[in-house]
Structure 1
Amino acid sequence: MANSRRDVAHSTPVEWAVRSLTFLSATALGVLLVVTFASVIMRYFFNAPILGSNEIIQLASVVLVMLALPGAAQRSMHIRVDVFDRLIGPIGRLIGDVLARVLSVYLLGILAWRAFGKLQDAAEFGDTTNMLQIPLWPFYGLLVLGAVLYALVLVIQLIDLIRTGAARDE
């Protein structure tokens, strides 16, 4: 459930950025569903597969996942297992939440850095998909954008966590 507190993680600029990416992610989901449906119909009912449909599905999946992650993090919609919450208490939960966010930001930074390198290579060498010749660099860019905004949301949550402590209602 979304955090009811009005903190930095739910400020207007963060909300705007997250909603924009979530809209793009939902659009990618729509494209993915339409292409998958059309591909199945064409392949099995008309024996005429859509060439390149797998490429479109793969690229739409990258957009879908990477642009949905910041919104899920900002709204605290990730799956959480609170088996040890009562045992470790509020301080233990706070330490666990801080460590999880720090580690996640570090790993997302590595992901963004490596994807940015791939973006540069793909742009420099004109890498495209095999069948439809779709340029790959924009998708690496969206991967970088999603990872960076996800990390930014986690950093903002980390700041809020340190300022306010562990939520008592979780």
Structure 2
Amino acid sequence: MKTAKQELARSTPVEWAVRLLTLLSSLALGLLLVATFAGVIMRYVFEAPILGGNEIIQLASVVLVMLAMPAAARDEIHIRVDVFDHKIGRYGRLLGDILSRGIAIYILAMLAMRSWKKLADAAEYGDATNMLQIPLWPFYGLLVLGAALYAIVLLLQLIDILRAGARHGE
């Protein structure tokens, strides 16, 4: 049985990249909480809503979700439904793990490539939010970064799964 140190998905470069993105995601969560709290107080207590508050919340949400996904994949803490695991056996689980990661890698690669094109367009044409005129290209860049690292983590997990083969008792 391999230890966590021997798994490719937990190699040092991946760990550092995931930690950095998780830190940025945490900062986005803090900004999201402060912006939401301030928006509610300003709107309902002072009857003076924050101009562009929704834009800040939307952009912070993109950063929060896209940069937190690689850590969720690495630690396998995303939602899983294992209703059929006992019925399909270890080879069925192996096939399911291979297929799910393969499909996810493909979808994330497509997302990253399309977001890269949107990043280039947004930078070239100066796309920005309506109210606050916040440039959009950095957020497309963070989307690319999150999707790409998520795909890399899944690819390394797929390699680990193929190396380990079907396991008992998972």
The alpha-carbon deviation at position 109 of structure 1 amounts to 0.8
Counterpart-to-counterpart distance in 2, 1:112 and 1:78: 20
The match for 1:11 is 11
Identical-residue share of aligned pairs (%): 68
Cα offsets for 1:40-99 (capped at 9, x unmatched): 000000011110110000000000000000000000001111111111111110000000
Structure 1 residue runs of 4+, over 6 Å off? none
Written as runs of structure 1 = structure 2, the 5 A alignment for 1:19-38 is 19-38=19-38
Distance 1:140 1:157, change over 3 A: same
Aligned length, in residue pairs? 168
Counterpart-to-counterpart distance in 1, 2:45 and 2:10: 48
The match for 2:108 is 108
Secondary structure class of the residue paired with 1:138: helix
Q: What TM-score, normalized by structure 1, do the two folds share?
A: 0.96
Counterpart-to-counterpart distance in 2, 1:169 and 1:124: 53
Cα offsets for 1:27-48 (capped at 9, x unmatched): 1000000000000000000011
Counterpart-to-counterpart distance in 2, 1:76 and 1:102: 15
Counterpart-to-counterpart distance in 1, 2:28 and 2:122: 22
The alpha-carbon deviation at position 5 of structure 1 amounts to 3.0
Instruction: Name the aligned partner's letter for residue 139 of structure 1.
Output: F
Secondary structure class of the residue paired with 1:37: helix
Give unmatched runs, 5+ long, in structure 2: none
The match for 2:155 is 155
The alpha-carbon deviation at position 140 of structure 1 amounts to 0.3
Q: What TM-score, normalized by structure 2, do the two folds share?
A: 0.96
The alpha-carbon deviation at position 12 of structure 1 amounts to 1.1
1:89 partnered with 2:89: yes
Give unmatched runs, 5+ long, in structure 1: none
Counterpart-to-counterpart distance in 1, 2:169 and 2:45: 53
Instruction: Name the aligned partner's letter for residue 90 of structure 2.
Output: P
1:49 partnered with 2:49: yes
1:40 partnered with 2:21: no
Instruction: Name the aligned partner's letter for residue 22 of structure 2.
Output: T
Secondary structure class of the residue paired with 1:83: coil
CA RMSD of aligned residues (A): 1.2
Secondary structure class of the residue paired with 2:144: helix
